[in-house]
Amino acid sequence: MLYLIGLGLGDEKDITVKGLEAVRKCKRVYLESYTSILTVGAKRLAEFYGKEVIELYREDVESEAFKILKDADKEDVALLVVGDPFGATTHSDLLLRAKEDNIEVKVIHNASIITGVGCCGLQLYTFGEIVSIPYWNENWEPDSFYDKILVNYKNNSHTLCLLDIKVKEPTPESMCRKKKEYMPPQFMSVKEACLQILKKLEKIGDSASPDDLTKETIVVGLARVGCETQKIVAGTLEELSIIDMGEPLHCMVIPGKNLHPLESDYLVPYATAETALKLKGN
C-alpha cells in the first residue's frame, strides 16, 4: 500500500497517532521537501519515528514518481507531506498514478495552513481563492496573483497568500549542462511579499481605481504557524514591508474591505499602534 501521510505544521510530534503507526510499519518512508517545511529536518523525524526518512525534491516527485511507487503493490511505502497530503496538487497526481498501477492508497490527514490560518482570528468561511506569490527577478515579474487578490478584496473576501519556496532549484546556467548545480534555498518573507505588492502598486500609479489596494491597506503577516515561535502581526502593507518576522515559513492574509467586529477585535493585540487604532474604529 502507498500511504500519503500529513505531518501537520510544527515539528516531528505533530504527526497523528494513526500516521505514526503507518510510518512504523512501512518498508520505505519518503519526505516531500519542496512544497513546505517543518521546523525540524529529516534527521529529527527519523529519530522520532524510528525509521529512515528519505528526502525527495520537486524533480523526484514530479518526474520520477515510479521510484516511490516501485513495489508498493507488494510492500508498504509512505510519502510524508508537511501539512495535509492534499495541500498540493503534486500529491493528487501521485495518487492517480498509484491507482493506475493498481496500488492501494491510504490518505492520513492532518492540519494544514489552510485551516491553521484561522489562528489570526479571521473567519475561515469568509476566505476567497488562495493565491501564491512567486519570487520576482530582474527578468520576470509575474503579477497575476494581484488580480486574484483584488477579486477577493472587492468581494469582501479574505485572501490567504502562500509565499514562494525554492528548495534545490537548479541554477539557470546549469539547466543547459548535464551536471546540475543548485541555488541556495529561499523562503519568501512577509516583508518581501509586501515589497512586491507595493512595487505593483507603483506600476499601477494614477490608473488605480478606488477598489485597488493601497500602501495603507491592512494585511496580516504570519510566521511559523503551529510552532512554539508562531508570530502574527497586523499592519499596513507599508508597515509590514519593513518588519522582520524571523525564520520561515511565512504566509500572509489580505483581509476583505470590511472586517466583522469580532475579527477586528481579535486582530488588535497583534496590530501595530497605528493599525490598532484603525481596527478599533472599524
3-state helix/strand/coil string of 194-223: HHHHHHHHHHHHHHCCCCCCCCCCEEEEEE
Residue 232 has pLDDT above 90, yes or no: yes
Give the residue ranges of DSSP H helices in the chain: 17-25, 42-49, 58-63, 65-69, 89-100, 113-116, 144-154, 190-204, 237-240, 261-267, 273-280
Asked if the bond preceding 279 is cis, omega within 30° of 0, the reply is: no
Task: Tell me the three cell numbers of residue 237.
Answer: 502593507
- Enter the pTM of the model: 0.91
Residues 40, 157, single domain; the answer is no
Evaluate if residue 67 carries a pLDDT over 90: no
Task: Give me the mean pLDDT over the 58-76 stretch.
Answer: 83
Cα-based distances in Å from 108 to 5, 62, 140, 220: 5, 21, 38, 30
Question: What is the pLDDT averaged over residues 29-52?
Answer: 90
Please state the rounded mean pLDDT for residues 62-83: 88
Domain end residue (candidates: 111, 135, 167):
111
CA–CA dist 73, 104 (Å, integer): 7
Mean pLDDT of 89-108: 89
127: three-class secondary structure by DSSP: strand
Q: Is 96 annotated as a binding residue?
A: no
Instruction: Please indicate if the annotation marks 93 as binding a ligand.
Output: no
pLDDT, average across residues 4-18: 95
CA–CA distance from 153 to each of 23, 126, 157, 194 (Å)? Answer: 42, 11, 6, 16
For residues 93 and 223, membership in a common domain is answered with no
221 labelled binding-site residue? no
Domains identified in the chain, total number: 2
Asked if the model's pLDDT at residue 238 lies above 70, the reply is yes
Residues 107, 170 within the same domain: no
Report the alpha-carbon distance of residue 116 to residue 124 in Å, rounded: 10
**pLDDT at res. 175:** 64
Which one of 51, 83, 111 terminates a domain? 111
CATH number (domain holding residue 45): 3.40.1010.10
Q: Above 70 in pLDDT, residue 186?
A: yes
Q: What is the residue range of 40's domain?
A: 2-111
**Chain CA centroid to CA 69, Å:** 26
CATH code of residue 118: 3.30.950.10
What span, in angstroms and rounded, lies between the C-alpha atoms of 277 and 190?
22
Q: Considering the chain, what is the average pLDDT of its residues?
A: 91
Residue 169 has pLDDT above 80, yes or no: no
Residues 86 and 125 in one domain: no
- Of 51, 82, 111, the last residue of a domain is 111
> Does one domain contain both 11 and 137?
no
Q: Is 87 annotated as a binding residue?
A: yes
Based on the fold, state whether residues 184 and 91 are members of the same structural domain: no
Q: Would the pLDDT of 43 be above 80?
A: yes
How many Å apart are CA 40 and CA 168, to the nearest integer? 17
pLDDT for 281: 80
- Same domain assignment for residues 140 and 256: yes
Residues 131, 58 share a domain: no
84 is in an annotated binding site: yes
Q: Are residues 149 and 266 in the same domain?
A: yes
On whether both 181 and 225 belong to a single domain, the answer is yes
Query: Is residue 95 marked as binding?
Result: no
Q: Note whether 78 and 29 are within 8 A (CB).
A: yes
Please give the pLDDT value at position 263: 97
pLDDT above 90 covers a percentage of the chain that reads 73
pLDDT of residue 196: 97
pLDDT at residue 174 tops 80: no
- 163's grid cell: 509565499
Q: Are residues 134 and 71 in the same domain?
A: no
The answer to whether residues 129 and 265 belong to one domain is: yes
Residue 190 is labelled as binding a ligand: no
Q: Is 6 annotated as a binding residue?
A: no
Q: How far out from the chain centre does Cα 137 lie?
A: 20
Q: What is the pLDDT of residue 173?
A: 67
